[in-house]
Amino acid sequence: MNASAPAIRLAVVGLGLIGGSLARALRDAGVVSEIAGYDRDPEQIRLALELGVIDRAGTDAADAVHGADVAVIAVPVLATAAAIAECKAGLGPDTILTDVGSTKQSVLDAVLSVFGDIPPRFVAAHPIAGTEKSGVAHAKADLFRKHRLILTPHPAQDAEALATVEALWAATGARVVKMDATRHDAIFAATSHLPHLLAYSFVDMLDQLEGADADIFPNAGGGFRDFTRIASSSPRMWHDILRANAQPVAELLRRQIDELSRLLAMIETDRWDEMRAVFERARAARERHLTRIE
Ligand code: NAP
Per-residue pLDDT 10s for the chain (294 aa) are 654 566 999 999 999 999 999 999 999 999 999 999 999 999 999 999 999 999 999 999 999 999 999 999 999 999 999 999 999 999 999 999 999 999 999 999 999 999 999 999 999 999 999 888 999 999 999 999 999 999 999 999 999 999 999 999 999 999 999 999 999 999 999 999 999 999 999 999 999 987 766 788 888 899 999 999 999 999 999 999 999 999 999 999 999 999 999 999 999 999 999 999 999 999 999 999 887 765
Q: Is 124 in the pocket of ligand 1 (CB under 6 A)?
A: no
Give me ligand 1 centre to Cα 139, in Å: 12
**CATH dotted code for 8-179:** 3.40.50.720
**CATH dotted code for 184-292:** 1.10.3660.10
* Dihedral angle, C-alpha 45, 48, 49, 51, nearest 10 °: 150
3-state SS assignment for residue 175:
strand
> What is each CA distance from 64 to 12, 46, 121, 163, in whole angstroms?
8, 14, 18, 23
Which residue's CA lies nearest to atom 17 of ligand 1? 83
Give me the numbers of helices (H) and strands (E) for the chain, helices first please: 12, 9
pTM score, whole prediction: 0.94
CATH 3.40.50.720 residue ranges for the chain: 8-179
Give me ligand 1 centre to Cα 215, in Å: 35
CATH 1.10.3660.10 residue ranges for the chain: 184-292
Q: Is 61 in the pocket of ligand 1 (CB under 6 A)?
A: yes
